[in-house]
Chain A
Amino acid sequence: MRVLAQVGEWFDRRLQLAVPIREVAEHPVPRNTASWWYVFGSAALTVFLLQLATGILLALIYVPSAGEAWSSLQALNHDITLGWFVRAMHGWGSNFMVAIVLIHMVQVFLFGAHKFPRELTWIIGVFLLLMTLGMAFSGQVLRFDQDAYWGLGIGASIASRVPILGPAIVKLMLGGPIIAGATLSRFFALHVFVIPGMLIGFVALHLVMVVKLGINEWPMPGRVVKRATYVSEYHELTKKDGAPFVPYAVWKDLFFAAFVLLAVAACALYFGPFGPTGRPDPTVIQTAPKPDYFFLWLYGLLSYLPPSTETPALLIGPVVAIAALVLLPFLSGEGEKSWRRRPIAVLTVMLIAVTLGTLTHLAGYTPWSPHMNAWSGDPVPDKFLHGTTALQRQGALVFQVKQCRNCHSLGDLGGQRGPALDSVALRLTEDQLIRQVIQGGGNMPAYGKNLSPAETTALVAFLKTLHPRTQSPARDASRDMVLGEEQNRRQESQR
């Protein structure tokens, strides 16, 4: 023991770090911040360190070349001892990191920690979030498979919409005219050098400020932040009701950090690594690319924006969102910290969470995408064909062959791009059905040029049968006036 102390002393005479480290470790924190609510920041740091470690391990094998990246991922998955596990840890670590950073941010916001004097800590936190998302996106590109290839295409399509500079930005992003070797190389540089370097610097700044300005006290309703008095009030609080960070509060951080690492490892073990999906060969077009989990909401949003608003929303939206986050501490730098007295803050968080959650959920089954194989894979259920005439059955055939099923479901089978047609005859009269099929409209293509009159007749005859037995199909009421109700009913049922 004595030898150890002597060695320690020898080093510290030269490094002179023991005193500042002890000061940082033992700086007083308000007692009630030693809470399980205050563990997410250190957990985010822990996962970041895990990502650094697993990232370096992956770099031992991974080849950042468009021609070989995919094969090197296969080698990691299948040939190299526990390569799959390291990939899985890195992939799941990425998901955990985004999730924990988001939770940390929500907690900080709801506890009013972005207010004076911690504005800059919050702003740097916003940059850390953006960099984390940048890591998530560039990491998906390094998993150079079909999703990565077409995902880059989506990124390029978005970037190209910038007025005037768009095409130049695309070439800068791709490193050339197309998605190819240079593209992967520059995303490798971003993912491995540029963004992590910035992350390390900004994380260090973020931590220095947390220590210098002190951890945010537990918000009490009625304890209002004022620029003039806050700092002295905070110091008084830590003096009166403070405790040294180590060991008073740190044990919860330690436990939670270990728990998070275990959770990442458990997910990695149980679910395994992400992909890679098919080889990044642009001539293989039978693919439906999808982004990783934390970008699914964006994928969903992009399908719901009306075409005319898409470009402005894509270009202005992120600027507004980032500006709002950066300006937040200046707009509400004083006042109540407690969420109990900040209903709009709570509602905003809930609204954003519900919006992102809904879009993510929808992107899980993409109701807006046609089911490319439904026309040949999903048969018309029997019950829709019982007791039908030859013409109606011919119509059912037209319905399948012309790929109507790719967008319309019958008996819950088929695409959801268009409305389900199980009871379409209740909604549309014969004339309306003919018009809709031939002219399209309401987001449906016009089929006039692709259906012969005979095919249209058969198709509409089939569609007219699609209604529950107990309800009669829609009738054109205006004809009642001309023909009389009885006559009209009879005619409609004969057709």
Chain B
Amino acid sequence: MPNENNISRRGLLMKLGILFNGLVATALAVPVVRFLLSSVARGRAGAYLSWVPLGRVNEFPEGETRLATFRNPFVGPTDGKTVDTACWVRRIGAEQFQVFAVNCAHLGCPVRWFPQSGLFMCPCHGGAYYRDGSRASGPPERGLFEYPHKVENGLITIQAGELPTPGASAALLRKKPPCAS
């Protein structure tokens, strides 16, 4: 057949060479992609989340909302101060708490608590929330993000470890705090 005559030995070797390179590249791509996506794969099953102590219950007066800080459970070698995280702790009753992320549910700016007017206000785009974290006004589509929490032996602990963002909120909401169940 005339077609076969067109394939020279060198042409075939070149094509085989390209194929060989393609195979090697594909094989090498596997570790490269796995390396690049490691932060995604690792966090898939909520592996970044763990329970972090916030402090003793009596550090938070009843009926008030206080800023608390905790160290993110997942710490890298070059993180510096960025792993120290703030959250708003509202003590409703003796054992009844709400723990809010400081990140606004709109675009994540840090909201501030104003006890006099009972509002959380965001400095970026003017989102406002009531004392129970529900949306009061402004661009946020929902209330403040809440960390699941539990009170044991006079110690309040929260489940934290991921930056709360509006997109991840659905997943966060599904996890009911243990004391609410």
- A residues whose Cβ falls under 8 Å from a Cβ of B: 65-68, 149-150, 153-154, 156-162, 166-168, 170-172, 174-185, 279-283, 285-289, 299, 302-303, 305, 307-308, 310-311, 368-370, 372, 375, 401-404, 406-407, 417, 440, 443-447, 449-450
Q: Once the chains are docked, how many angstroms separate the CA of A185 from the CA of B79?
A: 10
Q: Once the chains are docked, how many angstroms separate the CA of A177 from the CA of B52?
A: 15
- Chain A min CB distance to B111 (Å): 8
A150 CB contacts on chain B under 8 angstroms: 108-110
- The number of residue pairs between A and B whose CB atoms lie closer than 8 Å in the complex comes to 208
- Chain A min CB distance to B81 (Å): 4
Task: Report yes or no: A166 in contact with B165, Cβ–Cβ below 8 A.
Answer: yes
- Chain B min CB distance to A46 (Å): 35
Among all A-B residue pairs, the 3 with the closest Cβ atoms: A67-B80, A160-B167, A166-B167
The residue that B81 contacts in the complex, of A168, A281, A404, A447, with Cβ under 8 A, is A281
Report if A153-B80 is in contact (Cβ < 8 Å); known contacts: A302-B125, A307-B139: no
Task: Report yes or no: A171 in contact with B39, Cβ–Cβ below 8 A.
Answer: yes
22 CB-based A-B contacts, threshold 8 Å: A65-B78, A67-B82, A153-B107, A153-B108, A157-B165, A159-B165, A171-B39, A172-B39, A176-B48, A177-B161, A281-B82, A282-B84, A282-B85, A283-B84, A283-B85, A302-B107, A302-B125, A368-B125, A369-B123, A403-B116, A404-B117, A445-B130
Name B108's closest neighbour in chain A (CB-CB).
Answer: A153
Report if A281-B124 is in contact (Cβ < 8 Å); known contacts: A178-B72, A403-B119: no
- Chain A min CB distance to B131 (Å): 8
A303 CB contacts on chain B under 8 angstroms: 124-126, 139
A185 CB contacts on chain B under 8 angstroms: 78
Task: Report yes or no: B77 in contact with A181, Cβ–Cβ below 8 A.
Answer: yes
Q: Once the chains are docked, how many angstroms separate the CA of A444 from the CA of B117?
A: 12
The residue that A178 contacts in the complex, of B69, B74, B123, B136, with Cβ under 8 A, is B74
Task: Report yes or no: B80 in contact with A66, Cβ–Cβ below 8 A.
Answer: yes
Task: Report yes or no: B168 in contact with A160, Cβ–Cβ below 8 A.
Answer: yes
B166 contacts A by Cβ under 8 Å: yes
Task: Report yes or no: B163 in contact with A402, Cβ–Cβ below 8 A.
Answer: no
B137 contacts A by Cβ under 8 Å: yes
- B residues whose Cβ falls under 8 Å from a Cβ of A: 36-37, 39-40, 43, 48, 67, 69, 72, 74, 76-86, 102-103, 106-112, 114, 116-119, 121, 123-126, 128, 130, 136-141, 161-163, 165-168, 171
B102 CB contacts on chain A under 8 angstroms: 282, 285
A182 CB contacts on chain B under 8 angstroms: 39, 76, 78
Name B84's closest neighbour in chain A (CB-CB).
Answer: A283
The residue that A181 contacts in the complex, of B79, B109, B121, with Cβ under 8 A, is B79
Report if A450-B126 is in contact (Cβ < 8 Å); known contacts: A65-B80, A156-B108, A171-B43: no
- Chain B min CB distance to A393 (Å): 18
- Chain B min CB distance to A319 (Å): 17
Task: Report yes or no: A443 in contact with B81, Cβ–Cβ below 8 A.
Answer: no
A283 CB contacts on chain B under 8 angstroms: 69, 81, 84-86
Task: Report yes or no: B43 in contact with A177, Cβ–Cβ below 8 A.
Answer: yes
Task: Report yes or no: B79 in contact with A154, Cβ–Cβ below 8 A.
Answer: no
Sample of 9 further A-B pairs with CB below 8 A, known A170-B163, A302-B139: A67-B80, A153-B163, A160-B166, A176-B76, A181-B77, A285-B112, A302-B106, A403-B121, A440-B136
A401 CB contacts on chain B under 8 angstroms: 116
B67 CB contacts on chain A under 8 angstroms: 285
Task: Report yes or no: A66 in contact with B107, Cβ–Cβ below 8 A.
Answer: no
A160 CB contacts on chain B under 8 angstroms: 165-168
Report if A446-B136 is in contact (Cβ < 8 Å); known contacts: A157-B165, A178-B85, A181-B76: yes
A183 CB contacts on chain B under 8 angstroms: 82
Report if A443-B137 is in contact (Cβ < 8 Å); known contacts: A154-B107, A162-B167, A289-B124: yes
Name A376's closest neighbour in chain B (CB-CB).
Answer: B116
A445 CB contacts on chain B under 8 angstroms: 119, 128, 130, 136-137
Q: Once the chains are docked, how many angstroms separate the CA of A168 from the CA of B43?
A: 8
Task: Report yes or no: A370 in contact with B167, Cβ–Cβ below 8 A.
Answer: no
- Chain A min CB distance to B3 (Å): 35
Name A445's closest neighbour in chain B (CB-CB).
Answer: B136
Task: Report yes or no: B165 in contact with A156, Cβ–Cβ below 8 A.
Answer: yes
Task: Report yes or no: A67 in contact with B78, Cβ–Cβ below 8 A.
Answer: yes
Q: Once the chains are docked, how many angstroms separate the CA of A5 from the CA of B81?
A: 60
Q: Once the chains are docked, how many angstroms separate the CA of A401 from the CA of B118?
A: 11
- Chain B min CB distance to A302 (Å): 6
Report if A167-B82 is in contact (Cβ < 8 Å); known contacts: A287-B123, A289-B124, A445-B130: no
A172 CB contacts on chain B under 8 angstroms: 36-37, 39-40
B78 CB contacts on chain A under 8 angstroms: 65-68, 180-182, 184-185
Q: Once the chains are docked, how many angstroms separate the CA of A407 from the CA of B126?
A: 9
The residue that B126 contacts in the complex, of A159, A282, A369, with Cβ under 8 A, is A369
Report if A403-B137 is in contact (Cβ < 8 Å); known contacts: A177-B161, A181-B77, A282-B82: no
Name A156's closest neighbour in chain B (CB-CB).
Answer: B165
Task: Report yes or no: A281 in contact with B84, Cβ–Cβ below 8 A.
Answer: yes
Task: Report yes or no: B110 in contact with A285, Cβ–Cβ below 8 A.
Answer: yes
Task: Report yes or no: A369 in contact with B141, Cβ–Cβ below 8 A.
Answer: no
The residue that A368 contacts in the complex, of B36, B72, B126, with Cβ under 8 A, is B126
Q: Once the chains are docked, how many angstroms separate the CA of A303 from the CA of B124?
A: 8
- Chain B min CB distance to A376 (Å): 10
- Chain B min CB distance to A137 (Å): 15
A176 CB contacts on chain B under 8 angstroms: 39, 43, 48, 74, 76
Task: Report yes or no: B112 in contact with A305, Cβ–Cβ below 8 A.
Answer: no
A156 CB contacts on chain B under 8 angstroms: 108, 163, 165
Q: Once the chains are docked, how many angstroms separate the CA of A280 from the CA of B126?
A: 22
Task: Report yes or no: A171 in contact with B40, Cβ–Cβ below 8 A.
Answer: yes
B86 CB contacts on chain A under 8 angstroms: 282-283, 285
Task: Report yes or no: A174 in contact with B39, Cβ–Cβ below 8 A.
Answer: yes
